[in-house]
Structure 1
Amino acid sequence: MATRRISDEPGYVLHRYDWSESSLILEVFTRHHGRIALIAKGAKRPSSSFRPVLLPLQPLRLAFGRDGEIRALKDAEWVGGQVMPVGDALLSGYYLNELLLRLLARDDPHPPLFDHYASTVQVLASEHGEALQPALRAFELLLLRDLGLLPSLDVQTLALAPLDSQEPYSLVPEAGLVQSSPDERASLPGADWIALETALRDPVPFFAVLRQVAGALNALKPQLRNLLHYHCGGAPLRTRQLMMDLQSL
């Protein structure tokens, strides 16, 4: 008889909702099962073993039921090895979680993306503030590529023409990578796009892309923001709006 329980599954809590006076519904990103919903019965009770463990941005090992739209959480263990991000890094982690909630379908596994997410969270928890923005841009690129939403970056998307290494190009929703005017600030020369495509195809793409985006942050950020906004259905991300509001105080 097949087991009705999945055990020792790597996962991260993306979001949690109150279910009753004592229980929680969790949105969880797992390595082998994708984004799933779990019910953690009694998790809000002071005596619950779940209470100190079910935190966002912390690596967990989970056991849960195999079937159902909302599966029963059986066990959760903190893997350890990293601290909780704080300040801007914490808000950035919530931003990553909101992207996954918006863009990932339930029960659709993405093991490589899970590994990229884990690497990004490690950077957020490292207290190296200078790596925060490169890590976010690297994850955005890898997320879009993993979901099939990022075109090849070494050719013009519509014309399928090779890029001129010296000419500027921009990433545009619905049109892909297109040649832009020389005075367009949100653009990169062809050589940079080609280097990004090479990094995305690297056997260890997160760190390859992380190195490559470091010199192109100002130009990449608005282009990726527009592309993600488009694929999220046009609704603003709440975490991004919160970060903007805090910066304006």
Structure 2
Amino acid sequence: MIIHSVAIVLKRFPYSETSIIARCFVRGMGKVSFIVHGAHRKKSPMGAYFQPINCLDLVYYFKESRDLQTISKAAFSNNWSVIPTDLKKISYAMALIELTDKCLTDHDAHPDLYDELVRTLKRIDQEEKQLNLAYWFYQYQLLKHLGFKPDFSQAELDFVPLPNPYAGPNSKVVFDHFQQNQTGMQTGLRITAQDRKAISDYLNTRLGIHFDGIRNLKSLQILREMVVA
């Protein structure tokens, strides 16, 4: 079966001297792994296409019995103008990609979450301030779209105590925006250190309950070490 779809590259691995394996979030099919023949050859454009964070327009051959699908054609569907040259933006973008890769399962389509990821990457690329709000909003949306929408009245989940989401002076306002499907980035809201801790601890705890190994993601550790605003 030949499929035409947009996709976001999540990860790539060497496969042979000339080929790679690329794991992608395909809008209409969820997480799919591809063998990309010739991607390591110097004159092949495929190596440039299949880099994490890249948004692609793909034509590929799909066979359900295969673990690795085959690429026919690839082209960029979006180009990032700032992310590749800005360390802070790269860190946020890679955290989004790693988080998505960790939480998705193979061949389980989530087109609304795909669209949300593209919108969030665009915000990271275009905005200069309060990128943490864009990142937290995506974490909230990921939980919601995967069937784990936060219930802020809960004090514990699966026998794990939940941090107080309203422990910061403005954290309740932030979560109120999220529940209204808004990032809050254009409101001029001041995010304090207490807010950052309350929001991050709450979302990461919920994610950690539902998805193993979230707190050990390398990109998230880098984000924690950065001064974010």
| TM-score, normalisation: structure 1 | 0.75
Structure 1: gaps (5+ residues): 158-170, 200-204
Aligned-partner SS, 1:62? strand
Instruction: Confirm or deny: 8 A CA contact 2:57 2:76 kept in the other structure.
Output: yes
Pairing 1:223–2:222 present = no
Tell me, in whole angstroms, the C-alpha distance in 2 between the residues paired with 1:140 and 1:213. 21
Q: Which whole-Å CA distance do the structure 1 matches of 2:94 and 2:177 have between them?
A: 29
Q: CA deviation at 1:232?
A: 2.6
Query: Which secondary structure does the structure 2 equivalent of 1:144 belong to?
Result: helix
Correspondence 1:97 to 2:93? no
- Residue 179 of structure 1 deviates from its aligned partner by 9.8
Between Structure 1 and Structure 2, how many residues are aligned?
Answer: 217
1:187–1:220 CA contact under 8 A, matched in 2: no
Q: Equivalent residues in 2 for 1:54-69 (5 A)?
A: 54-67=50-63, 68-69=66-67
Cα distance, 1:239 vs structure 2 = 1.2
Please tell me whether the aligned partners of residues 89 and 125 of structure 1 are also in contact (alpha carbons under 8 angstroms): yes
Say whether 1:83 aligns with 2:81: yes
Structure number, greater radius of gyration: 1
User: TM-score of the superposition, structure 2-length normalised?
Assistant: 0.81
5 Å-filtered alignment, 1:3-42, equals 4-7=1-4, 9-42=5-38
Aligned identity (percent) is 20
Tell me how far 1:187 sits from its aligned partner.
8.9
- Structure with bigger RCO (C-alpha 8 Å, 6+ apart): 2
CA deviation vs aligned residue, 1:174-201 (integer Å, no higher than 9, x gap): 369979599x559955x7655542x1xx
1:209 corresponds to which letter in structure 2?
A: T
The alpha carbon displacement at 1:242 in A equals 3.0
Relative to structure 1, the CA distance from residue 225 to residue 102 in structure 2 (aligned partners, 3 Å threshold; closer, same or farther) is: same
The one-letter code matched in structure 2 to 1:71 is Q
Alpha carbons 1:134, 1:213 under 8 Å: kept: no
* Aligned CA-pair RMSD: 3.1
The alpha carbon displacement at 1:22 in A equals 0.7
- Report matched runs for 1:146-165 at 5 Å: 146-153=145-152, 156-157=153-154
The one-letter amino acid paired with 1:116 is E
Separation in 1, partners of 2:137, 2:168:
20
Task: State the Cα distance separating 1:223 from its structure 2 match.
Answer: 1.0
Change over 3 Å in CA distance of 1:181–1:78 after alignment to 2: closer
Corresponding position of 1:237: 217
The answer to whether the 8 A contact 1:151-1:176 is kept is no
Q: Deviations over 1:8-28 (max 9, x none)?
A: x11110100000011010010
Residue 143 (structure 1) shift = 0.3
Once residues 38 and 229 of structure 1 are traced to their aligned partners in structure 2, the CA distance between those partners, rounded to angstroms, is: 28
- CA, structure 1 residues 209+152, in 2 after alignment: closer, same or farther (shift >3 Å)? farther
* Aligned equivalent of 1:174: 158
Q: Is the 8 A contact 1:180 1:187 kept in 2?
A: no
Query: 2-side partners of 1:55 and 1:179: how far apart?
Result: 36
Distance 1:193 1:238 in 2: 26
Change in 2 beyond 3 A, CA 1:214/1:89: farther
